[in-house]
Structure 1
Amino acid sequence: MQTEKVIHHIVNWLKDYANNAGVNGFVIGISGGIDSAVTSVLCAKTGLNVLCVEMPIHQAESHVSRAREQIRSLKRRFSNVDDTRSDLTPVFECFKTAVFFDADQKTIDMALANTRARLRMTTLYFYAGMYNLLVAGTGNKIEDFGIGFYTKYGDGGVDLSPIADLLKTDVYKLGEFLEVPESIMKAAPSDGLFGDARSDEDQIGASYPELEWAMKMDTLGKTATDFSGREQDVFKIYKRFNTANKHKMIPVPICKIPNDLK
């Protein structure tokens, strides 16, 4: 990958899209992870206004400290970057008092994790509306189009996706070139939706390089029977997530009414 040219291409794409839309710039949630770090630098390099929003909800301290380090780094390097912090923990706790729980604990935990992501999406769109900004997505190719590892209408609810055609390993290459803080570069990827330090690999059961391999094999028409051992396990994990989350990766189904019924 021609890293510098890819960065130049994305920055110009962001700038052109924002100018054509008649907006002032971008708003982005900063999580302390590599994807939001890289996306925020790309947005900042456009020279347009960038608002970085920290949105903790019972967040692990390691995530909070990395998010703040990224924001400090951005503001040192770019005069067009501003930031704010919206502590959504009280909002999340209030929401929990307004609903009832009638499922096993694992199901409840997942529903609440997705609720966290949707509260953050709502917050980003509030600031986007107030300052005439676009919500910049942070999903990469394997998450958005491979295993669907994001929350529908949560972190999947964005205006544009600058890095969605890049694999996770590609994002790390950009991160190194863009001088993302070392603490973020070395941290295990995590969605931060459960209030602890569990990693994406803990949840998925495979690493991103493994999943990228499986995505390539699936594109080539391979099946689980073509592999054995760990490769077969990884391929099955990829296909399970890809199948279960397909509804996130296709347009919302529309019930078409036959003309003779109209």
Structure 2
Amino acid sequence: MQTEKVVDYIVNWLKDYATKAGVNGFVIGISGGIDSAVTSTLCAKTGLDLLCIEMPIHQAPSHVTRAQEHIAQLKKRFPNVKDTVVDLTPVFEEFKTEVSLEGKQATVDMALANTRARLRMTTLYYHAGLLGLLVAGTGNKVEDFGVGFYTKYGDGGVDLSPIADLMKSEVYNIGKYLDVPESILKAAPSDGLFGDARSDEDQIGASYPELEWAMQMKDEGKTAEDFEGRKRTVFEIFMRYNTSNKHKMIAIPVCEIPNNLK
């Protein structure tokens, strides 16, 4: 990958899109992870307004520390960057008092995790509307189009996706080029939706390099029967997520009424 040229291309794409949309810049949620760090830096390089928002909900301290370190670095490097903190923990806790928490614990936990992401999406769009900004997405290619590892209408609810055509490994390469803090480059990827430090690999059962390999194998027409051992396990994990999350990757189904019934 021609990293410098890719960075310039994305920055120009972002600036051109925002200019044509008639907006002032971008708003992005900062999690302390590599994807939001890279995306926010790319947005900052446009020279347009960038609002970075921390939105903790019982957040792991390590995530908060990394997010704050990154925002401080961005503000030092780019005069167009501003930040704010919106503590959504009270909102989340109040929400829990108004809904049923009955059912299998794992199911309830997942529903609440997705609720966290959707509360954050609502917060980002509030500020976007207030300030004339676009919500910049932070999903990469393997998450968005491989395993669908994001929340529909949560972190998947965005106006544009600057890094969605980049594999996770490519995002890391760009992160190094953009001088993203070392603490973020070394941290295990995590969605931060459960209030602890569990990693994406803990949840999925495979690492991002493994998932990238499986995505390539699928594109080449391979099946699980083509592999043995760990490779077969990884490919099956990828296909299970790819299949079950397909609804996130395609347009919303529309019931088209036949003309003779109208």
Counting only pairs closer than 5 Å after superposition, residues 128-147 of structure 1 correspond to structure 2 as 128-147=128-147
Distance 2:257 2:103 in 1: 36
CA deviation vs aligned residue, 1:126-147 (integer Å, no higher than 9, x gap): 0000000000000000000000
Cα distance in 1 between the residues matched to 2:128 and 2:28: 9
Q: Which amino acid aligns with 2:170?
A: D
* Amino acid in structure 1 at the alignment position of 2:26: F
Residue 103 of structure 1: how far off its partner (Å): 1.4
Per-residue CA distance 1:78-134 (angstroms, 9 max, x = gap): 000000000000000000011012310000000000000000000000000000000
The amino acid that maps onto 1:129 is G
Please state whether the residue corresponding to 2:103 is helix, strand or coil: coil
Alpha-carbon distance in structure 1 between the residues aligned to 2:94 and 2:261: 45
Q: Which amino acid aligns with 1:172?
A: Y
Q: Secondary structure at the match of 1:150?
A: coil
**Range 100-109 or range 220-229, more displaced:** 100-109
SS at match of 1:90: helix
Aligned-partner Cα distance in 2 for 1:261–1:94: 46
Structure-1 residue corresponding to 2:2: 2
- 1:31 corresponds to: 31
- 1:247 is matched with 247
SS at match of 2:27: strand
Give the gaps of 5 or more residues in structure 2: none
2:168 aligned partner: 168
TM-score normalised by L of structure 1? 1.00
The residue that corresponds to 2:231 in the other structure is: 231
The aligned residue for residue 260 of structure 1 is 260
Residue of structure 2 equivalent to 1:204: 204
Answer yes or no: is 1:186 the counterpart of 2:201.
Answer: no
Work out the CA distance in 1 between the residues paired with 2:4 and 2:230.
35
Q: What's the counterpart of residue 84 of structure 1?
A: 84
Q: How does 1:203-222 map to 2 (within 5 A)?
A: 203-222=203-222
Runs in 1 of length 4+ with deviation above 3 angstroms? none
Q: CA deviation at 1:233?
A: 0.2
CA distance, structure 1, for counterparts of residue 203 and residue 102 of structure 2: 23
Q: State the alpha-carbon separation in 2 of the partners of residues 57 and 120 from structure 1.
A: 9
Letter of the structure 1 residue corresponding to residue 254 of structure 2: I
- Residue 134 of structure 1 aligns to a residue whose secondary structure is strand
Identity between Structure 1 and Structure 2 (%): 76
Q: Which amino acid aligns with 1:124?
A: L
- 1:28 partner SS: strand
Instruction: Kindly provide the amino acid, as one letter, of the partner of residue 28 in structure 1.
Output: I
